[in-house]
């Protein structure tokens, strides 16, 4: 009976490929840039419309001072088990605009490629969840288990208001496990399942001296805020990649034997990444295996942008009046972003940089789920059903997301997975982001199979 229901859903997906793709491209054409506040409300309404049409009982729930949650439920006639599915409908800014081959919200078809901001991260995955549910309901009249959907509009800015929403809606969000359907494929072309994600501390550092930019001849007389930030940065991280802030590594927990065993099974063809990025070698790693371990296991400190003085064409001899930079710190289990923000501020004070203002823009705690969790086992079986091959299982995703809200606040097992080209190739967060029509349809089958397989776990 289980196999028959999934087969019926798969048949429905195959017969409705074209309307599914049309709805996907319609969603892509709607901007939803959370960092800039563009198109969020309209995008939430389109997501709700698609969910309503699929047979999902849906509400748009406001987040206080934030972007709305699109929340939906479907009750199963045949199961008491509940799966909570998380995703996000917001996208990254499109800049630099001049590097796009077509309009970033045109959802242009280039052969089998669909080029658009959000095509790979993560409107493809949101649409897949909706269409998988529709396929079960329309083909069989039921879903394999109770389903709850939480699609937020702030993931790309660190989900600042989601913790409050989770705390206020614990009863509404009761479930047995969680699937964060916001992932991509491994670079070998296999589905990828992450048993946790890195955390994040995102900060902005500012320094202001003169009231305005000055003639650079005044350099002997006036403090340069750009140099102040550069000197501060030099105290924070060494050339070997190690973060020099006191106590930064105190709470880092090493991988368990089970997690380390998973690392040994991960295929990592580093030469493919290097070719895609136009590089000759990895930073501070001599082998693929060494690079993989650093990628998964180490905290990071990354300058994301630096703005000061004159950066236009030609020369302009100025002494900047102000300077600003943005940094993200990726965190591993069990580092706490708020504790580390305090460490950062103490560090700057102790090194004589009280003239630098620190503004926190995002906090995400790291998360983890055991490899033996039923939802992890179910997803591994689903990958074989949908793709004919087993998944690559990561003990930790090197990217970040609000997974800790499900594992720590709600106390649930949670996996991070999804469909689409590897982020290194799909240009997620970059110009010419894309997925393919085949990957999109396969992603619907994959989440359908996860629903079916998890319904049968004990």
Tell me which H or E stretch contains 444: helix 437-455
Mark whether 110 and 219 lie in a shared domain: no
- For residue 264, is it within any domain? no
**Cα(204)–Cα(343) distance, rounded to whole angstroms?**
15
Which of 334, 364, 394 finishes a domain? 364
Tell me, what's the pLDDT at 435?
A: 98
* Chain position carrying tokens 């006036």: 222
**Cα(7)–Cα(395) distance, rounded to whole angstroms?**
31
Reduced to 3 states, what is the DSSP secondary structure of residue 219?
coil
Q: Which of 27, 209, 205 is nearest to 130 (CA)?
A: 27
Q: Which domain holds residue 155?
A: 2-196+367-455
- For residue 204, is it within any domain? yes
Mark whether 44 and 181 lie in a shared domain: yes
**Cα(427)–Cα(101) distance, rounded to whole angstroms?**
13
Q: How many CB atoms lie within 10 A of CB 373?
A: 17
Q: Where are the alpha helices (DSSP H) in 219-287?
A: 225-236, 257-265, 270-277
Give the angle subtended at the CA of 158 by the CAs of 152 and 163, to the nearest 5°: 65
Mark whether 308 and 391 lie in a shared domain: no
Q: Where are the alpha helices (DSSP H) in 55-161?
A: 123-140
Max intra-chain CA distance, the chain: 81
**Cα(118)–Cα(127) distance, rounded to whole angstroms?**
11
pTM of the model: 0.91
- For residue 356, is it within any domain? yes
> In Å, how far are 114, 231, 283 from 22, measured between CA atoms?
11, 52, 42
- If 0-12 CB within 10 Å is exposed, 13-18 middle and 19+ buried, where does residue 384 land? middle
Q: Tell me whether strands 197-208 and 356-364 are parallel, antiparallel or unpaired.
A: antiparallel
Mark whether 222 and 93 lie in a shared domain: no
* Chain position carrying tokens 């693929």: 288
Tell me, what's the pLDDT at 1?
A: 60
Residues of the chain with pLDDT under 70: 1
Which of 322, 349, 364 finishes a domain? 364
With a CB cutoff of 8 Å and minimum separation 6, the contacts of 190 are 267, 383, 387, 389, 390, 391, 392
**Cα(194)–Cα(396) distance, rounded to whole angstroms?**
6
Burial of 41-62, coded b for 16+ CB within 10 Å and e otherwise, reads: eebbebbbebbeebbbebeebe
Mark whether 329 and 383 lie in a shared domain: no
**Cα(433)–Cα(113) distance, rounded to whole angstroms?**
10
Q: How far apart are the first and last CA of the chain?
A: 17
Tell me, what's the pLDDT at 58?
A: 98
Mark whether 178 and 246 lie in a shared domain: no
pLDDT tens column, 66-99: 999 999 999 999 999 999 999 999 999 999 999 9
Q: Tell me whether strands 57-61 and 69-74 are parallel, antiparallel or unpaired.
A: antiparallel
Number of domains in the chain: 2
Reduced to 3 states, what is the DSSP secondary structure of residue 270?
helix
- For residue 278, is it within any domain? no
């Amino acid at each position: 009976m289980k196999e028959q229901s999934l087969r019926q859903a798969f048949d429905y997906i195959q017969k409705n490929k074209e309307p599914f793709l049309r709805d996907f491209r319609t969603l892509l054409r709607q901007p939803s840039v959370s960092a800039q506040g563009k198109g969020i409300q309209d995008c939430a309404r389109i997501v709700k419309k698609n969910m309503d049409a699929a047979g999902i009982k849906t509400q748009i729930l406001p987040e206080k001072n934030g972007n709305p949650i699109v929340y939906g439920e479907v009750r199963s006639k045949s199961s008491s088990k509940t799966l909570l599915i998380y995703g996000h409908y917001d996208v990254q800014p499109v800049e630099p605009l001049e590097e796009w081959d077509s309009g970033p919200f045109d959802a242009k078809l280039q052969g089998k490629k669909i080029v658009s901001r959000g095509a790979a991260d993560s409107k493809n995955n949101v649409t897949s969840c909706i269409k998988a549910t529709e396929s079960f309901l329309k083909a069989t009249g039921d879903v394999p288990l109770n389903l709850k959907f939480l699609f937020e509009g702030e993931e790309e800015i660190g989900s600042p208001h989601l913790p409050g929403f989770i705390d206020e809606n614990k009863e509404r969000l009761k479930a047995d496990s969680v699937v964060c359907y916001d992932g991509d494929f491994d670079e070998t072309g296999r589905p990828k399942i992450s048993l946790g994600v890195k955390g994040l501390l995102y900060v902005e550092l500012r320094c202001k001296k003169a009231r305005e930019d000055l003639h650079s001849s005044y350099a002997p007389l006036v403090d340069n805020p750009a140099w102040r930030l550069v000197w501060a940065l030099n105290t924070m991280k060494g050339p070997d990649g190690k973060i020099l802030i006191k106590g930064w590594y105190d709470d880092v927990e090493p991988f368990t034997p089970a997690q380390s065993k998973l690392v040994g099974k991960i295929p990592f063809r580093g030469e493919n990444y290097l070719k895609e990025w136009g590089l000759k070698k990895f930073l501070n790693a001599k082998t693929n295996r060494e690079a993989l371990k650093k990628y998964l296991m180490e905290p990071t400190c990354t300058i994301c942008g630096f703005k000061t003085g004159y950066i236009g064409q030609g020369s302009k001899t100025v002494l900047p009046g102000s300077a600003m930079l943005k940094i993200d710190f990726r965190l591993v289990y069990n580092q706490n972003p708020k504790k580390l923000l305090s460490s950062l501020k103490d560090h700057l004070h102790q090194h004589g940089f009280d003239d630098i203002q620190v503004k926190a823009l995002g906090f995400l705690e790291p998360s983890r789920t055991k490899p033996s969790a039923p939802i992890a086992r179910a997803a591994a079986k689903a990958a074989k059903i949908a793709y004919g091959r087993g998944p690559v299982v990561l003990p930790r995703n090197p990217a970040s997301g609000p997974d800790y809200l499900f594992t720590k606040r709600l106390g649930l097992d949670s996996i991070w997975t999804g469909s689409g080209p590897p982020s290194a190739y799909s240009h997620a967060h970059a110009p010419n982001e894309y997925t393919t029509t085949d990957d999109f349809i396969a992603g619907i089958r994959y989440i359908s199979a996860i629903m079916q397989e998890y319904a049968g776990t004990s």
